[in-house]
Amino acid sequence: MNMDMIIKIIAGVISTVGFAIIFRLNIKHIPFAAIDGLFACVVYFCCLEFVSDDLFIANMSAAFTAAGLAEIFARIGKAPATVFLLPGCIALVPGGSLYKAMRSLLIQDYNEFAAQLLVTAKVGIAIGGGIIAVSIIRYFLNSIKNKNSKSN
């Protein structure tokens, strides 16, 4: 990990905490949300650095991590998982590419608009896919647990 990556991870955690404060997250849940955002950022940057430079893989892995931790923190903090998931994923939101897409549209550079819009959609789908994957796994594990408790 280089210094640039560490600064970006710190900025991601700060954005997570800021988002949690703006949306009036309970003070006892903010540390969990910050940890969620921290791990999401670390996974994102480690995937880009060591696994693949594909944004789809990095964002899906980071969202999967954030959603998994949100489920764990939901049990610990006795709150819905979305309380931890939304702030935890905020650093992954593709604001830069969306801004570039809209700017390109305004200056009528339609090729750049299409390219940036594609990047934005790709990242959005990856984030959604990571979250949905954890939800499916949780549903599957809950159904096994319920089946076992009914048979006893």
pLDDT for the residue 142: 84
Mean pLDDT, residues 87-92: 88
pTM, rounded to two decimals: 0.84
Q: Average pLDDT of 16-21?
A: 92
Separation between Cα atoms, residue 20 and residue 33, nearest integer Å: 7
CA separation for the pair 140, 152 (Å, rounded): 19
pLDDT band at 40 (very low <50, low <70, confident <90, very high): very high
The yes-or-no verdict on residue 152 having pLDDT over 70 is no
In the Cβ-directed half-sphere of 119, how many Cα atoms lie within 13 Å? 18
Count: domains in the chain: 1
Q: What is the pLDDT of residues 52-80, one digit of tens each?
A: 788 899 999 999 999 999 999 999 989 89
The range of the structural domain enclosing residue 105 comes to 3-151
Residue 93: phi, psi to the nearest 5? -60, 130
> Are the C-beta atoms of 92 and 13 separated by less than 8 Å?
no
